[in-house]
Structure 1
């Protein structure tokens, strides 16, 4: 798992917390090669979307009677898409919870 985006976000949060506490802020640039959190999140959402589209396409092919469509592969693709979507929902819930916690911080 790529944690560079998370490390970058944590560094930004620490800098903001230091600024709020009146401490000097280290304005150093993010580590070279560090990933942008928004880009990592977007890539993850794109991967989930691709898995869902592939599973839907396979299911439509099977329903249409395509001789190359295998029921086992269709069911596995559907389950993978479902699991990845559920994982994305849990990440979203954690992000919303973290956002609400940050917004409730007394300054």
Structure 2
């Protein structure tokens, strides 16, 4: 899974947090990826990994293709890790949103 989009998203969140805290922060580079687009791409990647792992698991259990157990287990773990990573990103987004909502103007 390509984590560059997630890293860039976290950079945007840090910059927004610094800006909200009154710290001087360098703006993201011009031509950088859109935050919403990066999040959408990451979600699609996680979904694709889960679907691929599920299909491989079904193929192994029905014996319809030449899939071995090691490949199935590796793909299931990759899908699980990518899902856990996305959950952590979501948690960071929720925390950032709550911090912004709790700011006094």
Q: Which has the higher contact order (CA 8 A, sep 6+)?
A: 2
> Is the CA contact 1:9–1:37 (under 8 Å) kept in the aligned structure 2?
no
Q: Which runs of 5+ in 1 are unaligned?
A: 22-28
User: Within 2, Cα distance between the matches of 1:63 and 1:7?
Assistant: 42
Tell me by how many angstroms 1:44 deviates. Answer: 0.6
Q: Which runs of 5+ in 2 are unaligned?
A: none
Structure number with larger C-alpha Rg: 1
> How many positions carry a matched residue from both structures?
96
User: Within 2, Cα distance between the matches of 1:78 and 1:65?
Assistant: 17
- TM-score (ref. length: structure 2): 0.77
- TM-score (ref. length: structure 1): 0.75
Q: Deviations over 1:32-70 (max 9, x none)?
A: 321101111111111000000000000010011134111
